[in-house]
Chain A
Amino acid sequence: MELTETKTNNKVPASKHIVSEASSILRVKDLNVFAGAHHILKNVELEIPRNKITVLIGPSGCGKTTLLKCINKLTDLYKELKVSGSIFIDKDDILNTDTNIPALRQKMGLLSQRPYPLPVSIYKNVAYGLKLKGVRDKKLIDFSVEKHLREVGLWEEVKNRLNSPATRLSIGQQQRLCLARGLAVKPSIILADEPTSSLDPISSKIIENLFKDLTKHYTIILVTHVLRQAIRLADHVIFMNDGEIIEQGSPEILFKSPETEQLRAYLVDGN
């Protein structure tokens, strides 16, 4: 593992919170998720630093995706999931207040493992969220569509076929389109659940580079199984195992000198 690839050099001990409350955009307190008798997330406590890339790593089934789904309340779609605890976005506890859920979800762009373009054109995919927000000004929508397609590096590739069905794009292009679609609703946080797992190396590289640029304006929470990707991108790393946060901190500390045997074993197996 090449630690020279990491972005930051903070010397902060692993397994300690490195995020001050003021600089965090999202705080999770005592989050528990049950599916029947199965305890999926166990007393999860974490803070996500603003305008940074936080990478969630851990073995399959350890609860990373469930944690993301709790953050944008997609757990509501699963009756079997019982969620308790608190998730503060800025100062609002989204689990315990009468949150306007569609508005809350617009604060968080979602990028899933495989792209799901809406069954409309490329243009309408990006405009979809804006229209939901009530934007009707055609010029503003045109401007926004171009801006966000440029932001994800897709504009030059699609500018002459904006009215083509989005499903005709390659998988890599579809993933960037989904990112542009999410950015168009001006989220504060981007939740990315293994967004490059179905992409070829070139498309993955494009997405990774985009993420680095996007931290100027957005906070990114990235779930990945690719340790090299975590090393390349992470400003903050959270290691989960069996529904628990085992270690969290700066990537150099965690990857170089893991405190727990679980993380050590995971890193060895991952390499």
Chain B
Amino acid sequence: MRRVKIIEEKFFIWLSAFMTYSLIAVLAFIILVIFIKGFGALNWDMVLKTPRGGYYYGGEGGVLNAIIGSLYIAVGATLIAIIIGVPAALYLNVQLIRYRRTQNTIRYFLDALWGIPSIVYGAFGFSLMIFFGMNASLLAGIITVALLIVPIMVRTFDEVLSTIPKGLHEASLALGSTRTETAFKVLFKQGFPGFITAVLLSFGRGIGDAASVLFTAGYTDNIPVNLDEPAATLPLAIFFQLGSPIPEVRDRAFASAIILTGIILTISIGARILSKRYSKTNLT
């Protein structure tokens, strides 16, 4: 019996380790393939230039238009998601703390919204554009991506806030805080690492999504200077280049993917450094 338990223990430890390292290996493999295929095509022109005539047939230029467009859309949408999502998550965990059924209903709807495919958001954004007589533009892209990532922002932050002990909540109220003061001065600070995670997840989803911006942001070789101008995005740039019959252009798609991955990694590392600095300065 004891021997069976030892074998069982060893088997599950081995299985768990194998699954964990397999997952990391798969992720490393994906990044490796992208690097192998795209590194040859990656150069400063890709990052610093917009497409010149014939770029999609192997001509000169780069994807600066898509880099800037993606950053505009992802940053704009993330800011909107923060403005909507933070109060919503705090409301769920402070004002609705007595109303568990309402909390759970709202969480259920937010989870459902999280699960809706992004093409549906794209279609919804497109119908809104038609309703308001708008053209495909940076603004339409930002609003559509914001709609896509708000549920992610709210639920991710909410999950962290909901793990904060009720005792801390009570301790703050017992000192004479109002619920709003408790929300922003205590719960927000306590849940700050969760807020950073929520921002990163939302930003990552926003900058990497192609379907929601396909009809709403449009595509252009220029860098948008106004909200009503169309904007190119990296996912669409990858999509268009990957569909090319010219091998050189397909390699550029992988180079664009390296750029997109690099942006997400940079933002992620930067946000975590900022979060640690915030913890050191504001939590002390």
Measured CB to CB, the residues of A under 8 A from B are 72, 74, 76-79, 102-103, 105-106, 108-110, 112-114, 116, 118-121, 124, 128-129, 132-133, 163-165, 178, 181-182, 185
Contacts and interface: CB of A to CB of B under 8 A. Distances in A.
B169 interface: yes
B167 A129 contact: no
Contacts of A77: 97-98, 166, 169-170, 173
A116 B167 contact: yes
Contacts of A121: 283-284
A121 B185 CA distance: 13
6 contacts: A77-B97, A77-B98, A102-B176, A102-B177, A105-B174, A112-B170
Interface of B: 97-100, 165-178, 181, 185-186, 189-190, 192, 282-284
B173 A74 contact: yes
A182 B177 CA distance: 12
A116 B171 contact: yes
A198 to B, nearest CB: 11
Given A105-B173, A105-B175, A185-B176, 11 more contacts: A76-B98, A77-B97, A102-B178, A110-B171, A112-B170, A118-B171, A120-B282, A132-B181, A164-B284, A165-B283, A181-B175
Contacts of B167: 112-114, 116
Contacts of A110: 170-171, 174
The residue among A106, A128, A182 with the most chain B CB atoms within 10 A of its own CB is A128
A270 B181 CA distance: 42
6 smallest beta-carbon distances between A and B, as pairs:
A110-B174, A79-B98, A106-B176, A116-B171, A121-B284, A119-B190
B175 A128 contact: yes
A132 B284 contact: no
Q: Which of B98, B170, B178, B189 has the most CB of A within 10 A?
A: B170
Contact of B175 (A79, A114, A182): A182
A158 to B, nearest CB: 13
B284 A182 contact: no
B98 A78 contact: yes
A182 B99 contact: no
Contact of A129 (B168, B169, B175): B175
A149 to B, nearest CB: 16
A114 B192 CA distance: 22
Given A77-B166, A77-B169, A119 B174 contact: no
B98 A116 contact: no
Contacts of B176: 102-103, 105-106, 129, 132-133, 185
B93 to A, nearest CB: 12
Contacts of A103: 176
A106 B175 contact: yes
Contacts of B169: 77
A119 B189 contact: yes
A145 B134 CA distance: 59
Contacts of A106: 175-176
A106 B177 CA distance: 9
A178 B174 CA distance: 11
A234 to B, nearest CB: 23
A9 B178 CA distance: 43
A72 B97 CA distance: 18
B186 A72 contact: no
Nearest to A132: B176
A165 B97 CA distance: 27
A74 B170 contact: yes
A79 B100 CA distance: 9
Contacts of A79: 98-100
Residue of A108, A109, A119 with most partner-chain B CB within 10 A: A119
Contacts of B284: 120-121, 124, 163-165
A199 B59 CA distance: 73
A77 B186 CA distance: 16
A121 B178 CA distance: 21
Given A132-B181, A163-B284, A118 B186 contact: yes
Contacts of B174: 72, 74, 105, 108-110, 182
Given A79-B98, A106-B175, A132-B177, A118 B170 contact: no
A88 B176 CA distance: 19
Contacts of B165: 116
B283 A120 contact: yes
Given A77-B98, A102-B178, A112 B171 contact: yes
A132 B179 CA distance: 12
